[in-house]
């Protein structure tokens, strides 16, 4: 069930009414209803995969209790490791088995894969809910969180439908306690949630899907296109993947607000960054901080020798790349960003820019604009690798960029218009919670004119409910 589909609009309305008008008085019943609604939402794709999310939830919940029971004994570590191994085995089987089996066949069996591949369908959102469940058990093992004995609360935490299939990857320390206390409907929070949903829908439908039409057409014929056309497609994909993924996050966070929940921010205007380190603090924040807290810091982080800093940096980016899928392009994309990140962290400049750009000013200084432009260019080159089907295509695409010829601009103008609206809006609200956080504007005429303009543009550009890019991860 896609956020940008009519089916979800009906589903959301029904769940909202039942949640607040039927189940509000009993917290346990309300949480149980959240679990039921979330399983219906997820099962809409394929009900068979509900067994996987239930198994992940049950094992992580049970391991938390057992770890707490044996906290001072070696058994706690054994239980902890077994739970991690089980969850990662399930993830690896569905997501990576065929990749490694194919690589093995090419290395030792002359490429013959007969009877070797499983051809399993990748469950939607498995990387997201697996990491969310793992963060709970890890925090319990570290003593940062007391395990919950309420299995309904925990199942609701893992399966919460707004962020189930593409994040944000929530921490139990933030989301789980919200299921333990009564929620009360707040009109202002709900209205802000609707604004954020509208902004996410605009980014997905008007920006991402419109850009996608041009990008898909050019990538399918890239060998015959001019260099300028390839540049257009690369830039449009950079905005497509941002609008697509951050649009989903906006809709997830906005939807959660309708039910009285506060999810973490997942994007903070990454294309307004002044270097790659700042870009990664602003892009897919929930995943970046997950790897930082559960992989990078346990490896020693930056408080080790420079050689180990290089090692840790490559590990974190390669694993992050591989998390996106079983393809060499994702590993290459991770390695590319590791190379960009290393000079900053080795020189101690990786946290040079921690505030918003042009703070207290309407426009950036020329130096800031140049830094922002270079960072966007470097990120866009990385997106070429990310978008390509294989390493060969990525290399050919990049080498064809200087190729002369007349540019193909068919369908380009609407994308540029929608991107401009998105950039200007988010620039004006870069210091606020989301792009459409405009409650500070006093004029209702201005606000509602803008709302209806976005809605009209969405209807004019709507071509059906296209899937989100990150659903495949």
Residues annotated catalytic, as ranges: 324
> The tokens 């949640």 sit on which residue?
19
Interaxial angle between packed helices 50-69 and 27-43, expressed in degrees from 0 to 180 and rounded to the nearest 10: 140
> The tokens 């809709």 sit on which residue?
251
Euclidean distance between CA atoms 173 and 105, whole angstroms: 43
DSSP 26: -
Q: How deeply is 11 buried, as exposed, middle or buried, from its count of CB atoms within 10 A (0-12, 13-18, 19+)?
A: middle
Euclidean distance between CA atoms 453 and 445, whole angstroms: 12
Give Dmax over CA atoms of the chain in angstroms.
Answer: 70
Task: List the end-to-end C-alpha distance of the chain, in Å, as a whole number.
Answer: 16
Cβ atoms < 10 Å from Cβ of 155: 23
Measured CA to CA in angstroms, residue 150 lies from 16, 109, 153, 327, 403 at distances of 23, 50, 5, 39, 62
Interaxial angle between packed helices 227-258 and 366-387, expressed in degrees from 0 to 180 and rounded to the nearest 10: 90
Closest CA to 257 of 181, 195, 201: 195
- As a residue count, the chain comes to 473
Euclidean distance between CA atoms 465 and 271, whole angstroms: 26
């Amino acid at each position: 069930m896609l956020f940008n589909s009519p089916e979800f609009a009906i589903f959301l309305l029904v769940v909202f009414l039942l949640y607040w008008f039927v189940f509000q008085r009993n917290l346990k019943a309300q949480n149980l209803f959240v679990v039921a609604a979330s399983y219906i939402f997820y099962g809409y794709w394929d009900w068979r995969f509900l067994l996987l999310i239930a198994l992940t939830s049950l094992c992580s919940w049970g391991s938390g209790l057992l770890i707490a029971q044996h906290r001072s004994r070696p058994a706690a570590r054994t239980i902890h490791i077994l739970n991690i191994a089980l969850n990662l085995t399930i993830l690896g089987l569905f997501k990576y088995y065929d990749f490694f089996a194919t690589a093995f066949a090419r290395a030792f069996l002359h490429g013959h894969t007969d009877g070797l591949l499983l051809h399993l369908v990748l469950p939607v959102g498995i990387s997201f809910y697996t990491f969310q469940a793992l963060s709970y058990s890890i925090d319990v093992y570290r003593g940062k969180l007391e395990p919950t004995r309420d299995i309904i609360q925990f199942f609701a935490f893992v399966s919460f439908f707004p962020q189930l299939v593409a994040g944000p990857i929530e921490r139990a320390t933030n989301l789980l306690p919200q299921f333990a206390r009564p929620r009360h409907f707040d009109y202002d929070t709900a209205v802000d949630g609707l604004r954020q949903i509208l902004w996410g829908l605009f980014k997905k439908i008007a920006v991402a899907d419109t850009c996608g039409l041009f990008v898909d057409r050019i990538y399918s014929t890239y060998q015959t296109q001019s260099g300028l056309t390839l540049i257009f497609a690369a830039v449009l994909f950079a905005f497509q993947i941002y609008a697509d993924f951050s649009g989903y996050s906006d809709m997830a966070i906005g939807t959660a607000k309708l039910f009285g929940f506060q999810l973490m921010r997942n994007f903070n205007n990454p294309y307004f960054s002044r270097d790659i380190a700042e870009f990664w603090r602003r892009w897919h924040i929930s995943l970046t901080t997950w790897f930082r807290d559960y992989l990078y810091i346990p490896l020693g982080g930056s408080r080790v020798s420079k050689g180990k800093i290089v090692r840790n940096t490559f590990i974190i980016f390669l694993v992050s790349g591989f998390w996106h899928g079983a393809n060499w392009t994702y590993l290459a994309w991770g390695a590319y960003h590791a190379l960009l990140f290393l000079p900053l962290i080795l020189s101690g400049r990786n946290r040079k820019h921690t505030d918003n750009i042009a703070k207290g000013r309407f426009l950036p200084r020329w130096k800031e604009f140049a830094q922002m432009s270079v960072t966007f260019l470097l990120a866009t080159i990385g997106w070429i690798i990310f978008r390509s089907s294989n390493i060969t295509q990525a290399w050919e695409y990049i080498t064809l960029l200087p190729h002369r010829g007349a540019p193909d601009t068919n369908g380009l103008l609407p994308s540029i218009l929608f991107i401009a609206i998105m950039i200007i809006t988010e620039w004006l609200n870069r210091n606020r919670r989301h792009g459409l956080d405009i409650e500070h504007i006093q004029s209702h005429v201005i606000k509602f004119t803008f709302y209806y303009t976005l809605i009209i543009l969405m209807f004019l550009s709507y071509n059906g409910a296209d899937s989100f890019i990150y659903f495949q991860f």
